[in-house]
Amino acid sequence: MKILIGATGCIAIYKVVGLVSSLRKAGHELKIIMTESAQKLVSKTLFSAVGNCEVYTDEDSFDVRNGWIPHTELSKWPDILVVAPATANTIAKLANGFADNLLTMVCLAYEKDRKLLIPAMNYRMYENQVTQYNLQAMKQRGWWVLEPSVGHLACGESGRGRYPENEIVQEAIYVLASEKPLKGMNLLITAGPTWESIDPVRVLSNRSSGKMGYELAKVAVRLGANVTLVSGPTSLVAPYFVEDFVKVESADQMYREVEKRFNRSDGVIMAAAVADYSPTKKSDIKIKKGADKLNISFKKTVDILGELGRKKGEKILVGFAVESQSLEDYAIEKLKRKNLDMIVANQVDAMGSDKNTVLIIKKDGTLKRVGPDEKERIALAVLTELADFWSRSRGNS
């Protein structure tokens, strides 16, 4: 991906150096434009070295050798344009059509709709009605304005105006730059294990890390879906830009949260490893170590996927199957029994790992083997198949 970054004179520019380094490591092609004030904080040489890229300043504005017009040629080059950090001054210029430096000229000439603005400034400057008016104007003109974080600022004060963490900025770039085959789809995803309480200390659970479900949620957002993620207990950070993130513990809690959101969903991916059984009775106090044996009575939990399959109607329903043997046979049987459109099957040894190998089986009998690969790539493969269902459900060939 070709990324053009416009860096302005905010103290947060040092964080953009880290962003440039991360994007370069991810294999993206970069070019950078620095305003005059930006050069007073970070050197052109540093950006060039970290990004292994060309860095342009106002001095390049009139370098028209061989018919190369810098601001027009630079505006045509990138797949995405990012202004980070964006000062109140630069935002005001862009909102009002100023073209008095190389960056503002490039922004004015840029015709694509992939434009990302990262404001960073003192919280009073950010909250000032003039700045807010200018930001609203930028949004109306097709810019995605990534709201700054709340936190400690360089001036010693605290408030909203802090440059977001680079992980958020980089994910915003990927969301903005990705094709949108799932645009308009309200997608409900479950992830992680469930905890079935035995007493206030002990739980019955499984080895699921939740990584597959979280990767599905992250990639689905990139592909344009409106994502709700219902997650059992995990140590993972909630994926950025999901519309709704719900934490639960037990199978019963997960069922209630999924059921509440099912009717307004166009599709559901049940990637959670929901417990099949739960203790019949939870002890109110910690069970003390005593007898050589401890007998606990269990009851079946609600079959969430089965319940959804019985009432799915025109919704797209995707399940997961984790097996230790006869993977394909069991997966096909589960797909039919639970009225699924698609099932993703993998061996038990993939639980908790960063990589996976899966079988993607559709209700028409087609089967695709994917992997071994990173779970992000597995998620993309699953969602590509889902996009086919989504396209056909809307009457597209």
CA angle at 166 for the pair 161 and 170, rounded to the nearest 5°: 115
Tell whether 299 is in a known binding site.
no
Backbone φ/ψ region at 67: left (φ over 0), alpha (ψ -120 to 50), beta: left
Annotated catalytic, 155?
Answer: yes
Tell whether 338 is in a known binding site.
yes
CA proximity to 242, closest of 171, 162, 344, 320 = 171
Give the max Cα distance, the chain.
89
CA proximity to 270, closest of 254, 289, 247 = 254
Tell whether 334 is in a known binding site.
yes
Strands across the sheet with 367-374, in order?
A: 244-247, 226-231, 186-191, 267-270, 316-323, 342-347, 355-362, 367-374
162: exposed, middle or buried (Cβ count in 10 Å: 0-12, 13-18, 19+): buried
Amino acid identity for residue 320 in this structure? F
Tell whether 298 is in a known binding site.
no
User: From CA 378, how far away is CA 383, in angstroms rounded?
Assistant: 9
Eight-state DSSP code of residue 155 = T
Tell whether 15 is in a known binding site.
no
Structural contact between residues 145 and 139, judged by C-beta atoms closer than 8 angstroms = yes
Residue owning tokens 């005593």? 290
Strand, coil or helix: 149 = strand
Active site residues: 155
Which residues are known binding-site members for CTP?
Answer: 276, 286, 320, 334, 338
